[in-house]
Structure 1
C-alpha cells in the first residue's frame, strides 16, 4: 500500500486535517460533514470521557455536568503545560488533553483514507509566544512530542501563513507577489511570498519566501476587549467599594474574558472574597452578577456571548447580547462602533506586524499584487478595511478562510515526503 501523508492545522479556535492520497489533496470531514472542527473538549463528570468540537460546545451550553476547555493551543510553550489542570477531580496534563483532541483528527483521516498515516506536516504560528525564542522552541517541541505520541513517525512543521499561500497557489495562473495574512483565534501571522503554479512541486521554497512576521493577537483578544468594554461593566467591572471608594479587583474580570484562564476562577477563595466585597460594593446589582457567574460557573457562557456578539457585529451595526444565564431577560445592546473602538489597539498591532513583514521583505505596499486573507478574524469589518487601505492596488483573496491552512499543509507534506502526482482538486 502506498504511504500517504497529511497536514494538520491545530488552531486556537478551529482545526482541520487534509490528506495527500493518489495525487489528490482533500480535506477530511472531521465532524459529521464538516471539514473543520472547533478546538474544544468537554469531559463529562460521570465518567471523565471526552467529546470534541461542536458536540463539546453543545454539551457545555446545555449545562451538562463536566469540564469544558477551549484555546488549548495557547497553553503550548507556557508553564501550564507542565503544571497541568484538574479535570473533574482528576489531575491531567495538557499533553494528554491536546493529544486526545489531535488523535481524533488522525483517526478520522485514517478512516477516510482506509490506511494508517505516519507522515505529517503540522502547522505552527510564526510565534507561539511573543519575544521568547526559548518558549517558542519549547512549544514546537511539545507539539512534536504530541504528534509522536499519537502515532506519527515522520513529522515536520510549516508556518501557517506559508501553508495558506500554498493552498491558493494551486489555483493561480502566472506569478504573483503576495502577502498572506493569517488571523486566527490566538495569533496573527504574515508572509510575503512569490507564488506561481510552476513552483508548487518545488520541495524547497526558501528562495520564494521573502519574510515572515507574527504577533500573539487574534480573535480571542477581540473577544476579550469587547467583553471588557461592553459586557464586564454590567458585572461591576471598574466599580468601587468601601469607605475609601477603592476599585474592585480587576483580575477576575480579565480572567473571565480569556478562554484559557476562565476554568481557574471557580475557587472557594475567590468566591468568598467576592461575597465579602459585595457587602461593601457601591453597585450591588452589577457586582452581584459577577458573584452569580462565579458561583454558577458560567464564565464560558459569558465568553460565548462576547464571541457571538463579535460575529453578529460583522454583519450588523448593533446587537442585543443575551445574558439570560445571569438574569432572566437580561440583554446588553452593543454597537459596532463600541467593538471597533475596543479592538483598535489590537488591530494596530496586527497592521504593524504586516508592515514589518513588508519592510523585512524589502518591498513596498504597492508591490503587493495579491492579499490572501485567511482565518476567521479576517471577517471583522475593521480588519478588512485596514487591509484594503494598506494594499489599495492588490486583489483580495479570502475564500476558504477556515480551511486553507490545512489544505496548504497537505500540499507541503507532498513536497516534503514525496508522494503522488500533482492533481488539481
Structure 2
C-alpha cells in the first residue's frame, strides 16, 4: 500500500487515495496531524530506543558507532531504555514544558537537514531522530488502516537550506530516504512540496491554467510555477508542466523567531548596556531562540557560556533583565519562548493585540504585542518571501492566471498582502492550508505506484 507523507517542519501528516478521493489518516486519536516534536530522557536514548524497542538497526558503520556510544552513555547514567521513554507530538511538548531542564526535546529536526560542516556522527544522529518520528507515524497509520504500508512519496522543499546548494539538498534527501527505509518503507519517492500542493489544487480545476503555487511552511517557503488542469491530471511525466521553482529556508519558524527576538528579548536585556558603556552581544539574545540553527543552539547552551552570562549579569546596568538570560540557559527555555511567540502569531490573526506571558518559573513576564508590532518584527522574512515569489514569476517569463497559497503560515494576512503586492493583478486563492501538500503527495503516490 502507498501513502503520501508530509514530513513537515511544524507537523507530520499522511494520506492515501481511495477511489480517486484523498483520505487523510488519523495519527493521534481522530487528529490527522502530529507536531514534529520529540522528547526523551537524553539525546542518546533515541538511538538506543530505535534498536532496543523497535528493532531498527543503523544504516552504516557511523550509525553503529553512534549506537554503541549511546548504549554506553545510557548505562553510565543508569538509564534503561523502554518503549515509553520517547514521546512524540503534543505529548513531547507537554513533558518538556513541565520540566525543560531534565529532558531532551527537539522541535522541527527537518530544519537541520542539509546543514554543511556537520560531522558524520551528527548527521547520523539526525537520521535517528527522523527515523524515530517516521516510524511512529507509520505505525499509527498502519494501526488505523489495518494493513502494512510499504510505499511512500515524501514531500521535500525546493531547497532545504540553500547555503550548500545541491550538495545540501542531496545530503538532506539522503537522510530522509535512509530514515524512511529503516522505518520500513521499501519504496521511497520524493516530490517538491509546492508541486504536491499544486496537484491537489489541480483536481479542482475544470480548465487548464498557469498557477504560481506559494507554499509557506514551517521551515521553508517554496514557489512552483505549474501548468495544470484536466490535460495534465494523472500523467506520470509532468516535466513539461513544471516551469519554475524557487525556495529558501524561511517560514513559520522564522516568523516565530523574529517575533521573539524583536518583541521578547528586550525583557532579557537586549539593547541594554554594561557599566563600561558597551552593548551586551546581540548573539546572546539570538542564539537561544534560533531553534533552526544547530550551531547557534550549541553556542548558547554550552557550559562555558553560562560563565559568560554570569559575568554579563554582574557588568550589566540592568542586571535584573540579564539574569533572566542566565535563567533561560539554566532551564533550557528557548523552545518555550518560541512557543509563546507562535501563540502570539496565531492570536494576532484574529485580534489586534495579544499579551504574551513568558513563564520563567521564578516569575511570569508579560509583554504586549500588537498586530502592527508583529508586522514590523517579521519584516525580514516577509521580504525574503516576496523575493522568492518575484523570482519564480521572472523565471517563468509570463504572468500566472492565479496564485495558490498554502502552508500553515499562508494564513497570515501580512504575508498574503505581501505576496499580492508582488503580483497585484493576479487573483490569490487558497485551499486547505495544512492538508494540500499531503493530499497532493497521496495523488502522486497513486501515479507512481499504480
Greater mean alpha carbon deviation, residues 11-20 or residues 392-401? 392-401
CA contact (8 A) 2:327 2:360 kept: no
Q: Residue deviations 1:10-34, cap 9 Å, x none?
A: 1111111112355543111111111
Matched, 1:169 2:206: no
Distance (Å, rounded) in 1 between the aligned partners of 2:423 and 2:8: 27
Q: CA deviation at 1:263?
A: 5.6
Residue 52 of structure 1: aligned partner = 88
RMSD between aligned alpha carbons?
2.0
**Structure 1 residues 31 and 197, CA, compared in 2 at 3 Å: closer, same or farther?**
farther
Find runs of 4+ consecutive structure 1 residues off by over 4 angstroms. 21-24, 45-48
C-alpha separation between the residues in 1 aligned to 2:161 and 2:121? 18
Answering whether residue 388 of structure 2 is matched by residue 356 of structure 1, we say no
Matched, 1:107 2:139: yes
Q: With structure 1 as the length reference, what TM-score do the two structures score?
A: 0.90
1:252 aligns with 2:284: yes
**1:37 and 2:34 matched:** yes
Once residues 296 and 345 of structure 1 are traced to their aligned partners in structure 2, the CA distance between those partners, rounded to angstroms, is: 29
C-alpha distance in 2 between matches for 1:227 and 1:246: 23
Matches within 5 A, 1:145-294: 145-243=178-276, 245-260=277-292, 261=294, 264=298, 265-294=300-329
Preserved contact between residue 21 and residue 113 of structure 1 (Cα < 8 Å): no
CA contact (8 A) 1:256 1:303 kept: no
**Cα distance between partner residues in 2 of 1:346 and 1:298:** 24
How far apart, CA to CA, are the structure 2 residues paired with 1:44 and 1:345? Answer: 36
SS of 1:173 mapped into structure 2: coil
Matched residue of 1:157: which SS?
A: strand
Cα deviations by residue, 1:375-421 (Å, 9 ceiling, x for unpaired): 11112221011223334444433231111101101101111112xxx
The answer on whether the counterparts of 1:15 and 1:36 sit within 8 Å (CA) in structure 2 is yes
Asked if 1:376 is matched to 2:411, the reply is no
Which residue of structure 1 lines up, in the alignment, with residue 97 of structure 2?
61
Matched, 1:310 2:345: yes
- For CA contacts below 8 A with separation 6 or more, give which structure has more relative contact order: 1
Q: Which has the higher helix share?
A: 2
Is the 8 Å Cα contact of residues 389 and 419 (structure 2) preserved in structure 1? no
Separation in structure 2 between the aligned mates of residue 84 and residue 209 of structure 1, nearest angstrom:
35
Q: Which residue of 1 aligns with 2:61?
A: none
Q: TM-score if structure 2 supplies the norm length?
A: 0.85
Query: For residues 253-285 of structure 1, what are the alpha-carbon distances to aligned partners after superposition, in whole Å with 9 as ceiling and x for unaligned?
Result: 211122244763433311122112211111111
- Does the 8 A contact of 2:290 with 2:297 survive in 1? no
Secondary structure of residue in 1 paired with 2:403: strand
Unaligned runs of 5+ residues in structure 1 are: 86-91, 419-425
Report the CA distance between 1:77 and its aligned residue: 1.7
Paired with 2:378 and 2:21, the residues of 1 have a C-alpha distance of 41
**In structure 2, C-alpha distance between the alignment counterparts of 1:273 and 1:11, rounded to whole Å:** 36
CA pair 129-330 structure 1, distance change in 2 beyond 3 A: closer
- Give the count of matched residue pairs: 405
Write the distance in 2 (CA, Å) between the matches of 1:156 and 1:376. Answer: 24
Distance 2:267 2:285 in 1: 11
Q: 1:23 to 1:314 in 2, by over 3 A?
A: closer
Report the CA distance between 1:203 and its aligned residue.
0.7
SS across alignment from 1:61: helix
Worse-superposed segment, 46-55 or 332-341: 46-55
Q: CA deviation at 1:209?
A: 1.3
Offset, 1:210: 1.1
1:319-345 CA distances to partner (integer Å, 9 max, x unpaired)? 111013255342111122221112212
Give the aligned partner of residue 88 of structure 1: none
CA apart distance, 1:121: 0.9
CA contact (8 A) 2:196 2:438 kept: yes
SS at match of 2:28: coil
Structure 2: give runs of 5+ residues left out of the alignment: 43-78
